[in-house]
Structure 1
Amino acid sequence: MKANQRIEKKVQEVASLLIPLHERLLLVPNVTVAEIVPVTQVTAIQDAPEWYLGNCVWREQTIPLLSLEALNGDARPSFNNRSRFAVFNTTGLHESLPFIALLTQGIPRLARVNEEEISEREDMDNKPFELMHVSWAGEEAIIPDVAALERHFLDYLHL
């Protein structure tokens, strides 16, 4: 193959997860999420903002647990018997923060997202930590802004 030739392959579908929050769904590519884990002990942080639920331990690492709902100005969700932690891979803005966790309100479902089934919802305004509202296969979902979550938490830590 010559150096100036390009091989283009159209992605047919993206393996994704639909993650339930309080009264909404997140839609994220599988590679964004390191693991979905059952709720474990959360260590509260004194004088933390409402959106910082505390720290949890995952694979022998201390991970900050955040509430996307509270970050976006909505009520802080409560823990329930279906709650899970969604451990997200960060974008690498700071080596001290390889992961963040979000509190979910149920068990995520697998989703195979393709171009024909997804569309942007232009009738919805994005909140600060939302990249986009979408319709996918008859469901409404939010694509979160993981980089903004990471930046906001690092700003809180003054890093």
Structure 2
Amino acid sequence: MRDGEIACFLLPLLGITALVPTVSVAEMAPLTQLAPIEDSPDWLVGMYEWRNINVPVLSYEVLNGVAELAVNTQGRIAVFNNTGVDERVPFVAIYTQGIPRMTRVGEKDIQEDPNGTKGEFDLMCITVGVEEFNIPDIPGMEMLYAKYLDS
């Protein structure tokens, strides 16, 4: 890796591609049956048993108000590492709509895109060259799930 490059995953989602640093991702896991949660909000898809831990799977698309829950059988579960928001939430996960791929992005190549479609659970929209990406708000997802635990 060259200086100033960040190893990232490109996560295909409905209508957008999310860009996340690889250090944010604990694992890209195969789709599997989730344990349902009774009377949960529509953004909370279920619990994924991963390494003997129940990980909440959230719908990124529902959180951002762009679509109803959609599951592509070719997708994966992206398990995100804890960002330190709440110790009760060691991991959160989202569905991807296809197979994620790895890339390297130069810090100098990243430009914020003020005209991009930024959802409530996006930190920002960016362009890298001519490609547009959204950076998900992983801490925001953790906070939302922690608030759900308190309700």
TM-based fold match above 0.5: yes
Q: Which residue number in structure 1 is paired with residue 132 of structure 2?
A: 140
Task: Could you tell me which runs of 5 or more consecutive residues in structure 1 were left unpaired when the two chains were aligned.
Answer: 1-9
Mapped to 2, the partners of 1:26 and 1:15 lie a distance apart of 14
Counterpart Cα distance in 2 of 1:111 and 1:139:
13
> Hey, what does 1:68 align to over in structure 2?
60
Are residues 1:14 and 2:6 paired?
Answer: yes
Alignment partner of 2:91 out of 93, 99, 112: 99
Contact 2:11 / 2:18 at 8 angstroms: preserved in 1?
Answer: yes
What amino acid does structure 2 have at the position aligned with 1:111? Answer: T
User: What is the distance in 2 between the residues matched to 1:68 and 1:31?
Assistant: 19
Please give the TM-score of this superposition, normalised by the length of structure 1: 0.88
On the 8 A contact 1:55/1:64 being kept in 2, the answer is yes
1:139, 1:42 → 2: CA distance? Answer: 33
Name the structure 1 match of 2:106: 114
Q: Does 1:156 align with 2:137?
A: no
**Cα shift at 1:107:** 0.9
CA distance in 2, matches of 1:73, 1:156: 18
Normalized against structure 2, the TM-score is what?
Answer: 0.92
Point out the structure with max Rg over C-alpha: 1
Gaps of 5+ in 2: none
Cα deviation code 1:4-52 (max 9, x no counterpart): xxxxxx9420111111111111001000000001011111111111110
The residue that corresponds to 2:123 in the other structure is 131
What is the count of residue pairs matched by the alignment? 150
Which region of structure 1 is more displaced relative to structure 2, 25-34 or 124-133? 124-133
Determine the structure 2 residue equivalent to 1:55: 47
- Whether the 8 Å CA contact 1:89–1:100 is kept in 2: the answer is yes
